[in-house]
Structure formats: C-alpha cells, structure tokens
Amino acid sequence: MMLHIPGVLRREQVAAMRARLDASDWIDGRATVGAQGAQVKQNRQLPETSPLALELGRTVLAALADCPLFFSAALPLRTIPPLFNSYAGGEHYGAHVDGALRRMPNVNVTAGGGEWVRTDVSSTLFLSDPDDYDGGELIVTDAYGEHEVKLPAGDLILYPSTSVHRVEPVTRGARVCSFFWTQSMVRDDMRRGMLLELDQTIQSLRARLGDCAELVGLTGHYHNLLRQWSEV
C-alpha cells in the first residue's frame, strides 16, 4: 500500500525547518546504511543523534501524532526518530531495499544503540517543492510496476519497507526531505490496507449518516480485526 498524506507540516513549519537545515553541517549519507546501500547511495544527511536532527525529528513526530490518516495507515507501534537528507549536484540513491531492522538511536549508550525496531512502513516527508529542483523523483517498485513520487513540501508518502525503491539524480537545486521507519502494530501490508479501507469507509459513513446500529457493527468489526491481527 502506497499512500500520499498531504499537509503533514504547515508551510510555515517547513520554512522554519528549511532555514535551519540549509545552515547546518551535513555528513556523507552512507554513514547510516549497510554494505549494499553504501554501494548505490550518494547524498548528504544530518548525523542522526545531532541536537538539530533530534529537535526537528520531534517536530515531525508531533505533527504525525496530529495526523489521523497516518495513524490509520501505519498503525504505529514504534517509529524511528526522523532523519534528514539532501540531494544536489547529481546526487542520487540507486535501487535498494530498506533494512528489516534498525536500532533506536540512544545518545546515552556508547555502543550498539537502543532497542531494535522492525521496519514495516517507510515514510518520506518532502521539505522541498517540486519546482525547487529537477530530478530527485522517488521511484517505488511493486507488483504493479514503478510509481514516481515528487510531492509538495509538507506532504508525505508512505509505502511498505519491503519495496525496492530509488531516488533519481538531482540535476538542479536541492531535494531536502525527512525520512523514517515505523514498526506497525499489524505486520502484514495487505491487512493494514484492509483496515485502512474499512476505517475510511466507517468515517465517511459516519459523516454522512451519523451513528447508527450498522455503523456500530462495522466499527466493532474493525476493532475485532485489529484485535486479531495486532502484535502489541
């Protein structure tokens, strides 16, 4: 399931974030990938435990907490603190799959980091508008082909972490994004998609009809499926 979630950040939030990011010191993006990713990755990012990355990451997480659609789609159990990257001057990221497990950063641990998180859902939050740069499309491949993603600043794309994906070379301007992974309460992507569709149907019917016996029944069905499928 791929899902475009508009307006996760307000325009003024994006502008304030970009002012600080544009003045920051970036490092080689290969610092946070494994051997396979390092062969195809060429970009820059903030150190994941830098004070700025942690502060801006908290802003992103707070915005997600106020986004019902993200919750319904991801059903988050744990989310890795958001990271921030930048592509310019031909930088790109070749075809790869995100690692199945990541460790929570822990600035108080000298080695190894914190608890392990299973990466079920990948998210990219765009901090540059499409007109600000050429290239830089996120290409996600699934059973239905390749899907090209280039969203307005403040919008988010959510997709299964099992997907092969890449970022095309940026040939003008800079593509700045936040990205992160979520361990879902429901591991299976198809089940998450079914629950999202059922939840959206319930919300749409409630807005049109108000609560009624049939909606109570549908709501109970949703929660019983979530109870059956969740891993908490």
> In the numeric block, which tokens belong to residue 209?
């009809």
State mean pLDDT over 119-125.
98
Instruction: Count each helix (H run) and each strand (E run) in the chain, helices first.
Output: 6, 16
Give pLDDT tens digits for 7-56: 999 999 999 999 999 999 999 998 776 666 678 999 999 999 999 999 99
- For 189-229, CATH number out of 1.10.3120, 1.10.20, 4.10.860, 3.40.720 equals 4.10.860
Percent of the chain past pLDDT 70, that is, above it, reads: 94
- Tell me how far apart the alpha carbons of residues 48 and 180 are, in angstroms, rounded to a whole number: 11
Model confidence, pTM:
0.93
pLDDT at 112 over 70: no
* CA-based torsion, 222, 223, 224, 228: positive or negative: positive
Pick the CATH number of 3-184 from 3.40.367.20, 2.60.120.620, 3.30.70.270, 3.40.50.11890: 2.60.120.620
Cα–Cα dist 232/218, whole Å? 23
Q: 54-108: per-residue pLDDT in tens?
A: 999 999 999 999 999 999 999 999 999 999 999 999 999 999 999 999 999 875 5
Instruction: Give the helix ranges, DSSP H, for the chain.
Output: 11-22, 35-40, 51-65, 68-74, 189-209, 213-229
Domain layout of the chain by residue ranges = 3-184, 189-229
